[in-house]
Amino acid sequence: MAPPFTLSKDKIELQFATNHLGHFLLTNLLLETMKTTSREHKKERRIVNVSSIGHYMANKGIYFDKINDESSYNPLYTYGQSKLANILHANELTRQFKEERVELTANSLHPGAIATSLLRHHSFLEGVMNWVGKYFLKTIPQGAATTCYVALHPQVKGVSGEYFSDSNIAKPSSLAKDSDLAKKLWDFSLSMVAL
C-alpha cells in the first residue's frame, strides 16, 4: 500500500502490477479450467477479489495513460486506483459469466482495517495506527472473515458482481459500478499481460 514509486520487473508500476494485474493474470490463466470444472460438476465456482474501501480514493477513475508515469505518481491515489481495478475486474467477469451462461460468480470485498504492516512505507502513520489501532483495528482472523464468507457461505450462492464489507453487501463508489470503465480496464489489462 502506497510505496514510493517503483516499477515491477515487467516495468509496470508496482501497486497496479501487484494489486491488480497479478490477480487479473492468475484469474485468466485459471478461467477455462474453472468453467470446465463448473460445467462438468454442475457446481458453482467463485472468484473473490480482495479490494478495499480505499478504492474511493480513486475518485477520477483509472489513469490508463499514466500507469507508469513517475511524475504524476501519488501513492495513495495509485493504491485506490488498484483497489478500484479489483472491483471493476469482478464486475466485468460477472458480465462475461452471465453472457456465457456459466455457473461462476465474481465478487469483491473490503476486509476492513486490519492490524498488519500495510502502512510500512509511511512510518508516522504506521506508528499512529500501532498506538491507537489496537482499540479499533481487526485482527487478521477477523479481517479474513468477509473473504471466507464470500468464498464459502451458502447465502452467497448465485450472488455475483457485488461488493462486500463486514460479510454484507455494501455500496462501492459510483465508478466501481461503471460497466464501460470495467470493459476498458479489461481490454487494457489484457494488453498489459499479453494474453
Record the cell numbers describing residue 86, joined without a space. Answer: 479489483
Record the cell numbers describing residue 127, joined without a space. Answer: 506508528
Percentages helix, strand, coil for the chain (3-state, rounded to 5) are: 55, 10, 30
Tell which residue, 113, 129, 106, 126, has the closest CA to residue 47.
106
- Both ends of the chain: CA-CA distance in Å? 27
Rounded to 10 deg, the angle between the 22-41 and 75-100 helix axes is: 20
Tell me whether residue 63 is one of the annotated catalytic residues: no
The one catalytic residue among 56, 63, 73, 149? 73
Tell which residue, 115, 122, 92, has the closest CA to residue 104.
92
User: Do residues 177 and 91 make contact, with C-beta atoms less than 8 angstroms apart?
Assistant: yes
As annotated, the active-site residues are: 73
